[in-house]
Structure 1
């Protein structure tokens, strides 16, 4: 068999193996997300410094979460498996909420801050049609690690992160945090947010 044919066979094998790895990661991540769904006591969101996709310097809790109803997920722009799905879900939720989209803050936290500059996050957000009200944030590695821990997540290994969406309602008295499967149909997240909106603020 000629060298060219051998090269083609090896390349196809490598591509196939990579596709299988990506599919396995996505399936494993979805299973983890489903196992972690539910409610947990309201915690303390770390008020670490971050930058959004416009390059603005913010403090995560006081500027993005305090006094708001928010949905938070964790992504990184070089991810080719679950993160594009998470981005697509948030974009769909904004559209499904329609006129109510302004009552919710969507936040995507990069767990690969060494590579995810504000410019990269802006590019990634544009690819999904991110509308106003969806903040994509990055920051120093230590600050992102602290933030992830405060939210019950881990940023240690971006490639194995769990695709959860965390719902936090700080419009009134503390409410339990809700964890949803970030890969579920967008209508599930939209319904959860509408349900939270319908609750009286105490």
Structure 2
């Protein structure tokens, strides 16, 4: 396992935890207390991001894309493009907005290569995250056509989380993790912690060059 450089985006998460600064409107809860009021993972977010490799078996589950279309998870991820994947939920007020901003900046840094990469964000709160809500959330972060958001049944969401070894039983206990894969059949690169847009861009370009 190799260590990546310390990301300034971890500090953003801690600041958001302390101040609960503004996030895109779609990322705010409509009612009730802020789901990250306790911010129990904020200090952990300051740890260095670490990179490892693993092989994951994709479960044969159906998810619903932000355009309302039901799709097979394996088919979506095995379309031949390099994949960058994370797990988020739209009412998250700290970790998820930081990860989503990082994906948005990754798109920008990829430039003309952005259409060659499939960015995937899977909701861990499918009861709240309808396709319409995910579509609004995607727009708030400037998601291009190569960055899609997915929801589905609670069972499907849990199965996806378990497949990537990120299921922790409660959405409040989630941690920042990103997954990258060059092509179907290749191992996944797993980045635990906050990787910066530059670090993700470098990792993606390595995958593209290795294809």
**Residues matched between the structures, number:** 178
Of 59, 63, 81, the residue aligned with 2:72 is 59
In structure 2, the CA distance between the partners of 1:166 and 1:30, relative to structure 1 (3 Å rule), is farther
Structure ranking higher in helix proportion: 1
Give the SS at the match of 2:190: strand
Tell me if the contact between 2:54 and 2:190 (Cα under 8 Å) persists in the aligned partners. Answer: no
Does residue 122 of the first structure (1) align with residue 139 of the second (2)? no
Q: How far does residue 66 in structure 1 lie from its aligned partner after superposition?
A: 4.3
Query: Which 5+ residue runs of structure 2 have no aligned equivalent?
Result: 1-19, 21-33
Deviation string 1:141-187 (CA, Å, 9 cap, x unpaired) is 1111111111121152111111110112225xx33211124522100
CA root-mean-square deviation: 2.1
Aligned counterpart, 1:146? 159
Of 185, 188, 191, the residue aligned with 2:199 is 188
Aligned counterpart, 2:117? 104
Aligned counterpart, 2:99? 86
Aligned counterpart, 1:198? 209
TM-score (norm 2): 0.77
In structure 2, the CA distance between the partners of 1:109 and 1:176, relative to structure 1 (3 Å rule), is same
Give the SS at the match of 1:26: coil
Query: Which 5+ residue runs of structure 1 have no aligned equivalent?
Result: 1-14
Structure exhibiting the larger radius of gyration computed from Cα positions: 1
Of 69, 73, 76, the residue aligned with 2:89 is 76
Tell me if the contact between 2:45 and 2:194 (Cα under 8 Å) persists in the aligned partners. Answer: no
